[in-house]
Structure 1
Amino acid sequence: MEVARGLEGVLFTESRMCYIDGQQGKLYYYGIPIQELAEKSSFEETTFLLLHGRLPRRQELEEFSAALARRRALPAHLLESFKRYPVSAHPMSFLRTAVSEFGMLDPTEGDISREALYEKGLDLIAKFATIVAANKRLKEGKEPIPPREDLSHAANFLYMANGVEPSPEQARLMDAALILHAEHGFNASTFTAIAAFSTETDLYSAITAAVASLKGPRHGGANEAVMRMIQEIGTPERAREWVREKLAKKERIMGMGHRVYKAFDPRAGVLEKLARLVAEKHGHSKEYQILKIVEEEAGKVLNPRGIYPNVDFYSGVVYSDLGFSLEFFTPIFAVARISGWVGHILEYQELDNRLLRPGAKYVGELDVPYVPLEARE
């Protein structure tokens, strides 16, 4: 049998949630192009789509949005526990531990019936934003801000994180960014969530595992690396020479290339427009200029090889404009992706929740004799 390195090309289940055409650079949630959702939908509506497999009617959307809003607040003793977490901890470590602790506080933690999973999933989707915002405030030496039920999910997230109600434009920027990151098939963190849940563990454990997977720099942490690249380049004038030096050394250009896409990542196209808006209206033109020069210069060499900007390339400029330091870029990713994780777990459970048990090609020796300890000296 051939070994599929990194499970490349291996199909282990069926799904209706997400379709990716990597050759054409297309992404769909339940058949709807991502560009349409990012332009016309909201995070609440997109989350309903991911959990139910269809767009909601008006009353359904209102009731669903209200249900999420009611679940935003965290238990007081969990907030007190947050204050004992190390201030120096990475926000993804903070989120991972918070989800695990939240699960321990649920007396019905082990209930994985369909109804219980859905309710717990709504809880986590609503509370992820509250957890990340509370962490941001605590890192800044400030008290966490309680959520408001009269704001959208995106607007409330920004309000809790920054202490001021965002402008409609800022709320829309965050809404679009959350939609773009909400789902992306069986990437490492989603596969990790499914692998954990296939053992019939509780939802909190499966999501904790997914958060741990997303933390890695080759997955969710890649957007931090792009902003560090911008900082290293420093000025637009230096960008072309910097790219040439990197390519000459055969080093990676962060934010370019994707395991699936061999054309322009459609999410990057939407985020490029948002980044341009930020540059024009909010004074982050230097960062945007650097990225455009990097994209152009690196593209001369990389585009013919199917390497284009991915979703991480432009997202950092948008997040920075919305008041977040780079260490919070991956937690924002998680605030969005929790919807996809929960949706996939619900779908996989409905299918059959078959225990994942891949094999490996054995390449070691057999019948190796045991050597007594005294003979090994």
Structure 2
Amino acid sequence: MIQPGLKGVVATETKISHIDGEKGRLIYRGYDVKELTEHDSFEEVAYLLWFGVLPTAKELTKFNEELKSHRTLSSYLKTILDSLPREMDMMSVLRTVVSAEGSLHYTSKPTIQQCMKLTSMMPTMIAYRNHSLQGTPFVEPRQDLGHVENYLYMLHGVLPTKAQTNALETYMILTMEHGMNASTFSARVTASTESDLISAVTSAIGTMKGPLHGGAPSEVIHLLEEIGCTANTEQVLRRKLENREKLMGFGHRVYKTHDPRAVALKSTLLKQVGEDEWLDLALYVENTAVELLEEYKPGRSLYTNVEFYAAAIMKAIHMDPSLFTPTFTASRIVGWTAHILEQSQNNTIYRPESKYTGRIL
């Protein structure tokens, strides 16, 4: 029996994450992701996905020091970033520059140290290219800042507020890993040939670039901008539903109830009610939309997905839409590399069959 897109086909076993779509749970190495966003940093969750356990205080200090040591880009990578056409989109830039990072250091079996280096470098790649396009001086990474705080600092040249850092850190933890999605599968297929880590990550970036997978939450921003203020919410949403338009940011292919990532993001944003008009609007729109969706599509259980609140966060931290998917990539690289490591430890090359439907002469 053919399963288009391999939907429902179990192709491997993993200890990295588990998605329970019926109950709305996302588990990283046995831990509920919502609990991780409340108690742990980006670095601690990355350690968990790579090593399988949360770090001790001593282990975390050493881990942070090593991550920070890889933030600076080599001169040849900066030259490549400067040489690429201005019209090249950021995901294509990342695909090219990550590929160029490939060297003799990555020809051996994938290691956690390789994963750390690539994860640490990616925010710097994005920030460097963004400043180049804007015609502004590149902001060098700071060694006294955490991974997410430093990313925002490099992008904007000023220290972010604690609320901004917490919001983006929550988002980046929630999007680190999400099972055997298209880009993760792509990475594992490449790794299964015993190719190097750089090649596998490059495959994943190329897959993430596709709008059906890594499409940024730009459409959610368009919806919120069209609504503009709380007074317009019901009128705009009713018009869209009556015209059979899709409400962007609602519903998910996997989750049949609340998307746990959206729940965790909302929990973070509720701490900032009244501090940002855009976030307040998003919270109001969600409540109204869920009520109207139940009215127009009863029994469908359509709730907000992670993209809805991701859009609100990106807007609140003044991130340009061109950086949405690259930022998603800067978090998902942790999950990709964890899967690459797992694939290399118990490898079988992927080789599915296909059914020929052409002519036989």
Shift of 1:194: 0.7
TM-superposition CA deviations, 1:242-264 (whole Å, max 9, x none): 33333334332212222211111
* Aligned residue number for residue 15 of structure 1: 14
Which of 87, 105, 108 is equivalent to 1:108?
105
Partner in structure 1 of residue 114 of structure 2: 120
The amino acid across from 2:21 in the alignment is: G
Aligned residue number for residue 337 of structure 1: 332
Matched, 1:36 2:35: yes
Change (3 A) 1:301 1:21: farther
- Counterpart AA for 2:192: S
CA–CA separation in structure 1 for the residues paired with 2:216 and 2:292 = 20
1:269 aligned to which of 250, 263, 268 = 263
CA contact (8 A) 1:278 1:321 kept: no
Report how many residues are paired: 360
Per-residue CA deviation, residues 23-78 of structure 1 (Å, 9 max, x unaligned), is 01011101100110010000000000000111111111111111101111110221
Corresponding residue of 1:159? 153
Matches within 5 A, 1:193-204: 193-204=187-198
- Whether the 8 Å contact between 1:100 and 1:204 is mirrored in structure 2 is yes
SS in 2 for 1:363: coil
Report the equivalent of 1:173: 167
What is aligned with 1:182? Answer: 176
Distance 1:277 1:326, change over 3 A: farther
State which drifts further: 120-129 or 301-310. Answer: 301-310
SS in 2 for 1:99: helix
Moved more, 198-207 or 271-280: 271-280
For 1:129 and 1:155, locate their aligned partners in 2 and report how far apart those are by CA, in whole Å. Answer: 11
**For each residue in 1:281-312, what CA deviation from the matched residue of structure 2 results, as whole angstroms up to 9, or x when unmatched?**
13323444334433432343446224321111
Matched position secondary structure for 1:138: helix
SS at match of 1:271: helix
**Worse-matched range after superposition: 188-197 or 79-88:** 79-88
- Bigger mean CA deviation after superposition, 259-268 or 139-148: 139-148
Amino acid in structure 2 at the alignment position of 1:319: M
Take 2:209 and 2:269, find their aligned partners in 1: how far apart are those partners? 24
Paired position in structure 2 for 1:371:
none
User: Deviations along 1:201-257, whole A, 9 cap, x unmatched?
Assistant: 221121111112112222221412211222334443333333333333433221222
Normalised to the residue count of structure 1, the TM-score between the two structures is 0.90
- 151-160 vs 79-88, which moves further: 79-88
Which has the greater radius of gyration? 1
The aligned residue for residue 240 of structure 1 is 234
Aligned equivalent of 1:129, options 114, 123, 127: 123
Return closer, same or farther for 1:326/1:167 CA change in 2, 3 Å cut-off. same
- Map Cα deviations across residues 327-367 of structure 1 (whole Å, 9 max, x no partner): 21111111111100000110111122x1111122333332x
The residue aligned with 1:375 is none
Once residues 95 and 228 of structure 1 are traced to their aligned partners in structure 2, the CA distance between those partners, rounded to angstroms, is 25
Give the aligned partner of residue 63 of structure 1: 62
What is the CA deviation profile of residues 70-125 of structure 1, one whole-angstrom value per residue up to 9, with x for unaligned ones? 1111102211321222333322222122211222xx233422x24xx322211111
Q: Does 1:320 align with 2:315?
A: yes
What SS does structure 1 have at the residue aligned with 2:105? coil
TM-score by length of 2: 0.93
| CA–CA distance in structure 2, aligned partners of residues 152 and 142 of structure 1 | 23
Higher mean alpha-carbon deviation, 228-237 vs 154-163, is at 228-237
Matches within 5 A, 1:237-316: 237-284=231-278, 285-302=280-297, 304-316=299-311
SS in 1 for 2:19: strand
- The 1:302–1:269 alpha-carbon spacing in structure 2 relative to 1, beyond 3 Å, is farther
Shift of residue 130, structure 1, vs aligned partner: 0.9
Tell me: CA distance 1:303–1:32, structure 2 relative to 1, closer, same or farther (3 Å).
farther
**Contact kept? 2:191, 2:343, Cα under 8 Å:** no
CA contact (8 A) 1:178 1:333 kept: yes
Q: How does 1:362-373 map to 2 (within 5 A)?
A: 362-366=356-360, 368=361
The aligned residue for residue 91 of structure 1 is 90
The answer (yes or no) to whether the contact 2:21–2:255 under 8 Å persists in 1 is yes
User: C-alpha separation between the residues in 2 aligned to 1:217 and 1:225?
Assistant: 12
Unmatched 5+ stretches in structure 2: none
Amino acid at match of 2:4: R
- Match status 1:191 vs 2:182: no
Q: What do you get for the CA RMSD once the two structures are aligned?
A: 1.9
Secondary structure, counterpart of 1:304 in structure 2: coil
**Percent identity between the two aligned chains:** 36
Greater shift in the superposed pair: 273-282 or 74-83: 273-282
**How far, CA to CA, are the matches of 2:60 and 2:220 in structure 1?**
36
Query: 1:31 and 1:201 mapped to 2: Cα distance?
Result: 29
2:209 aligned with 1:209: no
Alpha-carbon distance between aligned partners in 2 of 1:136 and 1:167, rounded to the nearest angstrom: 21
> CA deviation digits over 1:148-170, x for unaligned, max 9?
11111011111111101122232
- Letter of the 2:56 partner, please give it: R
Aligned in 2, Cα 1:91/1:292: closer, same or farther, shift over 3 Å? farther
- Asked if structure 1 preserves the Cα contact closer than 8 Å seen for 2:126 and 2:326, the reply is yes
For 1:171-196, what per-residue CA distance to the aligned partner results, in whole angstroms no more than 9, with x for missing partners?
22222111111111111111111112
